[in-house]
Chain A
Amino acid sequence: MQENKRSVDWDRLEAKPEFRALLGRKASFIIKATIFFMAYYLALPILVGYAPDLMKKKVFGEVNIAYLFALSQFFMAWIMAFVYVRVASRWDREAAAVIADVK
């Protein structure tokens, strides 16, 4: 770590246009994804807490909206993870290109 600190010009790497562009895309994805999953997740306790009658409506047999919405959170999380992993592996390649000349 010590020799890395001396030999790598971090400012130059950070200022590279392709690195800035990568950071921009990453930030944009992470912010959008975070807003989406927080909104989707918090909708559950808010609706369950403040609109219990709506959530108690039955859909299949005894299974109600509340349970289905809760169950959908699991799938939302898995899909989100799947999408993130796909996008992130593209970022990995771009990041590797940014530091290719110092490695």
Chain B
Amino acid sequence: MFTGFVALTLLITFWAAKRNTGASAYFAAGRNITGWQNGLAVAGDYMSAASFLGISGMICFSGYDGFMYSVGFLVAYITVLLIVAEPLRNAGKYTMADLLAYRLSPRPVRAMASLSTLTVSTFYMIAQMVGAGVIIERLIGLSFAPAVIGVGVLMLVYVVFGGMLATTWVQIIKALLLMAGAILLSYLVLQYHHFSLAGFFDAVSKADYAGTAEPKNLLEPGLKFGVAVAGKWGPLDLVSLGLGLVLGTAGLPHILVRFYTVPDAKTARSSVVWAMAIIGIFYIMTTFFGFGAATILKKALILTETGAPNPNMVAPILAQELGGELFFAFISAVAFATILAVVAGLTMSASASFAHDFYSNVLHHGKENRPGAEVKVARITAFIVGAVSIGIAIYLGPAVNAAFLVGLAFAVAASANLPVIIFSVFWKRFNTTGAVAGLVTGLVSAIVLILLSPNGLFGKAGAPFPLENPGIVSIPLGFLAAYLGTILTPRDLEAEAKFSELTVRAHTGLGAEKATHH
């Protein structure tokens, strides 16, 4: 099944490689992706291994508090829909920085936006790579390092040769496979409970891991963030997590670049709606396979050899228990596809940002010296980003907490990227200093707070910052820095003059990048 998926995706890559002529085709799939296709691709890009495997595990072990992630992941798309998707599509070209550089001084803004994009993508990617390594190690017996290298190499093939078009189709196929897997898994869980919702929730309220643990009510909140478990800062940590999730998605570079692949803002809008339908149904189903797992699986099956909870294996083992080896192989293949698709999307956005923002616009002042140089640089960057992430993932090893890295990516995205995107579209006075101050402060404060958190350098007991999720502090700091940076420095009349152009473009689509026809 793995082989089938890999063969299919390589075929797509080969097909896409032949159609990749020029930068718009490489970076934005020629802007020819339709609304439902992009919606599926957004969903495929978004529902990472951390959400499929991680969340089912988190719900299985922590019950309701794990389900809070599911809620936040969907509600986040309202931010994308209302605030970000359409102006971005209308005013940008290939990256998030295009929107910022529109009326601000391009070089510092692009350099910083590129740095923040690379940071978010790398953290996110390392998390996926580590997850991939762990899963493949368990599933096909390949040891950690070769598994990570294998995933990395495959992903590079898609990105380097197939560009955005191949990446998009890998994501679409993955989204369909993931939905099929989730529906089947939910069906089997309900079948186990004789198709009685009342019986299902009754069992969840006394979940005892098939009689191998004390029954606990997983529907009750507080098993992870409650005061009894997490101390007096637990509830605030939950709020902070919620804030990071709901505002972070709209700053994730690999999600934002997806809106450049459609022909216009209207299609960008409809693709968010498609994505919300799919993502919402998926996360509601985590009710069944997350909570359900706690009623069906014996505790011993979902612990590591050392007896610690092994959240990443909950979904595959549930599949094995309910559907046998074939279904286990299918769910594992889905997990594998998930990781590949997300990692490919991340590499794509990181390399696009480096090539387009840093190489072309910062180093070469926006002039392409030789035609095709930008795409060439992007391919080389994809290779380097991939190699670096593979290296770091292997260095960190299988024990690193993948959810921690994903949380960091969301926090940086919400604190650094979102404030400057919002201000540059909606605030005329906003200037370059404000943008750079917002990006730097958001990036640095999120990272520093995570290092000072209980997950960071000082361990659980000695952490100077009591919350695991920095959002509630770092997001306001990002906004504040962008605001202060602007009002404390002289007005930038040129940027304000271009605001009317940006406003007209953002709200009418006049002069927006057109689709290329093949």
Contacts and interface: CB of A to CB of B under 8 A. Distances in A.
Interface of A: 1, 4-5, 8, 10-11, 13-15, 19, 22-23, 26-27, 30, 33-34, 37-38, 41-42, 44-46, 48-50, 52, 55-56, 60-64, 66-67, 70-71, 73-74, 76-78, 80-82, 84-85, 88-89, 91-92, 95-96, 98-99, 102-103
Given A45-B241, A73-B74, A73-B75, A34 B82 contact: yes
Interface residues of B, number: 59
A85 B283 CA distance: 22
Interface in B74-127: 74-75, 77-79, 81-83, 86
B68 A45 contact: yes
A10 B517 CA distance: 28
B464 interface: no
Contacts of B513: 1
Given A37-B75, A77-B280, A85-B270, A52 B222 contact: yes
B78 A37 contact: yes
14 contacts: A19-B504, A19-B508, A26-B507, A34-B83, A42-B239, A44-B242, A48-B235, A49-B234, A62-B205, A62-B217, A74-B283, A77-B276, A81-B272, A92-B266
B239 A46 contact: yes
Contacts of A62: 198, 201-202, 204-205, 217, 219
Contact of A50 (B235, B270, B280, B510): B235
Given A10-B500, A23-B503, A45-B242, A102 B510 contact: yes
B336 interface: no
Nearest to A76: B75
B269 to A, nearest CB: 6
A41 B500 CA distance: 33
A56 to B, nearest CB: 5
Contacts of B511: 1, 4-5, 8
B277 A78 contact: yes
B483 interface: no
B199 to A, nearest CB: 9
Contacts of B217: 62
A84 B508 contact: no
Contacts of B226: 49, 52
A60 B205 CA distance: 12
Contacts, number: 159
Contacts of A61: 198, 201-202
B64 A41 contact: no
Given A44-B242, A55-B221, A71 B284 contact: yes
A14 B71 contact: no
A88 B219 CA distance: 38
Contact of B242 (A27, A37, A41, A63): A41
A33 B79 CA distance: 10
B325 interface: no
A79 to B, nearest CB: 10
Contacts of B283: 74
A11 B508 contact: no
A42 B204 contact: no
B276 A85 contact: no
B319 to A, nearest CB: 24
Nearest to B497: A11
A30 B83 contact: yes
Given A22-B507, A56-B221, A67-B219, A81 B81 contact: yes
B201 A41 contact: no
Nearest to A13: B504
B239 A81 contact: no
B255 to A, nearest CB: 16
A12 to B, nearest CB: 9
Given A55-B221, A85-B269, A85-B273, A42 B242 contact: yes
| Residue among B238, B505, B508 having the largest count of chain A Cβ atoms under 10 Å | B508
A46 B225 CA distance: 11
B75 A41 contact: yes
